[in-house]
Structure 1
Amino acid sequence: MLDLDLFEKSIQRERRRRFWSAAWLGALVSGALVAPSIVVVMLYGVQGRSRLMFGLVLAPFAAGALFAVLSSVTRLGGAVLHQFLHPSGGGRDATMERALAPAVSQAEAMAAEGRLDEAIDIFESIRLEHGDSVGTLRAEAELMAAEGEHERARHALHRIRLMGEVSPADELYATHRLIDLYLGPLEDSGRAVVELRRLADRFPGTPDAEGALAELQRRRALRTATSDME
């Protein structure tokens, strides 16, 4: 089974690493901006030793402003690029999901009443008439998993990843839920390992990838220890 404590520790370790990396970078940038800051305060008439003091105070604020500008430009550029590449995809999917929400709610209500076969028929009808959408597939996967239809849940999660314009967040969700199914009710550790490797490969440098790598390393160590005992 997935070691949740180890997974959480890996996430916390990655967050600490990123914090200290950002702190060191901020300190370096602030140091590099001390001299320009002194020049700026001199232009405003500050002379003598006060120049250094004001320069040291101004440099961190200048570094923070620089990081804020760069972060805003990066986010704006990513949004513009996404809109350029996919000018209407997100809106179309959202509109379809809103239109299908009553049907999904009806399926969930039927499952709650014990009419699971009818709920499954509704999802099949949605798929045949409208195709796949992430929101509908997520709802189907969660409902099927809750009702013990684990193979159907697995199938819905796989369909999410097969969609042409699936977002990284949706892909990450589907992969996590597949790992949960393989390590839990489906009891397929081989496929779980495949999904852990995929998680590490597809999202390098993220806390999720760090946790997946830690779990893979734990499993290798456990196999080695078991082999030595034999």
Structure 2
Amino acid sequence: MLDLALFEKSVRRERQRRFRSALWLGALVSGALVAPSIVIVALNGVEGRTRLLLAMVLAPLGTGVLFAALTSVTRLGGSVLQQFLHPSGGASALAPAPVSQAEALAAQGRLDDAIDIFESIRVTHGESAVSLRSEAELMTVGGHHDRARELLQRLRQAGDATRRDELYATHRLIDLYLGPLGDEGRGMVELRRLADRFPGTPDAEGALAELQRRRALRTAIPERG
């Protein structure tokens, strides 16, 4: 399994780094806005030291407004791009596959019946990330590890799979290979994939740390012998 403590430390470091970067950027932008703020205050008839004090207040406020506007524009642009790449309208668009019936059967321990339901869903609705992810989770919990592995691999290749789906599938594959499947070689391959596909993220840092730890253990074992 992955070293969860290392992942938590990586997440904290990443959050601290981003917070420090945001503070520095905010300070730089605020400093750049001081002069324009002085001009604005002066145009409103404020004189003397009061002008500078008001400008010092307006500069960080303007920075906050600017950052909020940029964030809104970025999110809006992402939504527009998502709709362009994955339009929801049109005759070919399909609703999310109905997996609740299969989940209910699995909860009753009827995994074979649940598998049949998922197969019928694929025939009717096609293969989707939603159904693959749900089935993989149920098969993992039910102990059908080989089938879960196959489903997770297909999830990464699904036409509607997102980066989040890929990240989820890779994490679960690592857990399977390093856990019940007992295939450390494939597990290390997936750790390397995680680091390569999501560089600069806490997930990648944790994967690299786990790779380094396991390689060190491999080196240490022959020396002890």
The alignment's TM-score, normalised by the length of structure 2, stands at 0.90
- Is 2:163 the partner of 1:182? no
Deviates more, 1:105-114 or 1:140-149: 105-114
Alpha-carbon deviations, 1:28-75, whole Å to 9, x = none?
111111111111111111111222211111111111111111111111
Aligned equivalent of 1:87:
87
**Whole-angstrom distance in 2 between the partners of 1:89 and 1:8:** 40
Aligned equivalent of 2:122:
127
**Whole-angstrom distance in 2 between the partners of 1:80 and 1:147:** 39
CA contact (8 A) 2:103 2:138 kept: yes
**Whole-angstrom distance in 2 between the partners of 1:89 and 1:191:** 40
CA contact (8 A) 1:7 1:215 kept: no
- Distance apart, 1:199 and its partner CA: 1.5
Aligned equivalent of 2:144:
149
Alignment of 1:184-223 (within 5 A): 184-223=179-218
- Distance apart, 1:178 and its partner CA: 1.1
Alignment of 1:14-93 (within 5 A): 14-88=14-88, 92-93=93-94
Aligned residues: CA RMSD: 2.1
Alignment length (residue pairs): 224
Alpha-carbon deviations, 1:185-208, whole Å to 9, x = none?
111121121112222222222222
Q: 1:27 to 1:197 in 2, by over 3 A?
A: same
**Whole-angstrom distance in 2 between the partners of 1:227 and 1:26:** 53
Q: 1:228 to 1:62 in 2, by over 3 A?
A: farther
Percent identity over the alignment is: 71
Q: 1:5 to 1:156 in 2, by over 3 A?
A: same
- Distance apart, 1:183 and its partner CA: 1.6
Segments of structure 2 that go 5 or more residues without pairing to the other structure are none
The alignment's TM-score, normalised by the length of structure 1, stands at 0.88
Aligned equivalent of 1:160:
155
What code does the residue aligned with 2:93 have?
Answer: R
Q: 1:89 to 1:146 in 2, by over 3 A?
A: farther
Matched position secondary structure for 2:41: helix
**Whole-angstrom distance in 1 between the partners of 2:172 and 2:89:** 25
CA contact (8 A) 1:172 1:199 kept: yes
What code does the residue aligned with 1:61 have?
Answer: L
Runs of 4+ residues deviating >6 angstroms: none
Aligned equivalent of 1:111:
106
Q: 1:83 to 1:110 in 2, by over 3 A?
A: closer
**Whole-angstrom distance in 2 between the partners of 1:22 and 1:40:** 26
Aligned equivalent of 1:171:
166
- Distance apart, 1:119 and its partner CA: 2.2
